[in-house]
Structure 1
Amino acid sequence: MDIRRTTTVTELLTAGHLFDAPPREEWAARFLAAPGHVLLIAYVDGVPAGFVSGIEMLHPDKGTEMCLYELGVDDPFRRRGIGRALTRALVDLARERGCYGLWVGVEPGNEAARATYRSAEAAEEDGGFAMLTWDFEGGGAG
């Protein structure tokens, strides 16, 4: 397995089957050009097998932390440690970039994701997590 940081729109679009919906070229370009946005792709025998995306967030009184925005592994490559390796690679990159920490939000019932993050040495906090959202017309993958 080879994990590489994605730097071109072509690389990202070639791995389009890993995303929830086909990536749009203009959104891919904006993501890759934005400071603090990171996309790592895991390749197995030259084939994109999984990805992780992260976004740095800077606050005036806290410094910079990394949010693990999304992790995805293609079905034929699951349960082979790719998700853990991608997560660890993002953790290492966040540390190299001077982030004070990394976090990810996970639904309480998503045991597969929770197990992946625990296997990558994430500490699980007690208590609930609530996410409230605003959905703007025309946004998202739609």
Structure 2
Amino acid sequence: MDIRPVVRRATTVAELTAAEHLYDGPARPEWAERFLAAPGHLMLVAYVDGEPAGMVSGIEMSHPDKGTEMSLYELSVAEAFRRHGIGRTLTRALAEAAKERGCYGMWVGTERDNEAARATYRSAGAGDDGDFAMLTWTFD
């Protein structure tokens, strides 16, 4: 089966909530509004036959001595559409958007044992910079 998704930037709360089956949990309209209002936040949605089949979100991060880079925050493809290149297409589209926005690079963190994610990112041109530790804070 040859699947050719149409990738578009999500610019409305309705578009973000229509893609909620691709997220880890349900979308909340107030969080979607905040996402859209934040400078440097970007979500691209891949549509197949008019329905959201995948999404990638990115966040620009700037520093006074480095400039601006894009962080690939999350990538998701609906199970029925996996292994058809949609993840690679979305990752490449985010990289192109980052270049257009003047970012000097893009990065993503993923678990070492997440072979599917690592293969997707490598197929979209990413290099592996090695291991790193992620430490997190959770606030109530």
Q: 1:29 aligns with which of 18, 33, 48?
A: 33
Please give the secondary structure, in 1, of the residue aligned with 2:15. Answer: helix
Please give the secondary structure, in 2, of the residue aligned with 1:87. Answer: helix
Q: 1:10 aligns with which of 14, 17, 23?
A: 14
Structure 2 counterpart of 1:85, one-letter code: T
Please give the secondary structure, in 2, of the residue aligned with 1:55. Answer: strand
* Per-residue deviation, residues 60-116 of structure 1 (Å, max 9, x unmatched): 010000000000000000000000000000000000100000000011111000000
Matched, 1:131 2:134: yes
Matched, 1:76 2:84: no
Structure 1 counterpart of 2:16, one-letter code: L
Instruction: Name 1:51's counterpart in structure 2.
Output: 55
Q: Name the TM-score, length of structure 2 as normaliser.
A: 0.96
Paired with 2:75 and 2:86, the residues of 1 have a C-alpha distance of 10
Paired with 2:113 and 2:132, the residues of 1 have a C-alpha distance of 12
* Per-residue deviation, residues 12-35 of structure 1 (Å, max 9, x unmatched): 111111111001100000001100
Instruction: Name 2:120's counterpart in structure 1.
Output: 116
Please, what is the CA RMSD of the aligned residues?
0.5
Paired with 2:110 and 2:137, the residues of 1 have a C-alpha distance of 18
- Aligned residue-pair number: 136
Structure 2 counterpart of 1:48, one-letter code: P
Paired with 1:15 and 1:37, the residues of 2 have a C-alpha distance of 16
What residue ranges of structure 2 are gaps of 5+ in the alignment? none
Cα distance, 1:125 vs. partner? 1.6
Q: Name the TM-score, length of structure 1 as normaliser.
A: 0.94
Structure 2 counterpart of 1:17, one-letter code: H
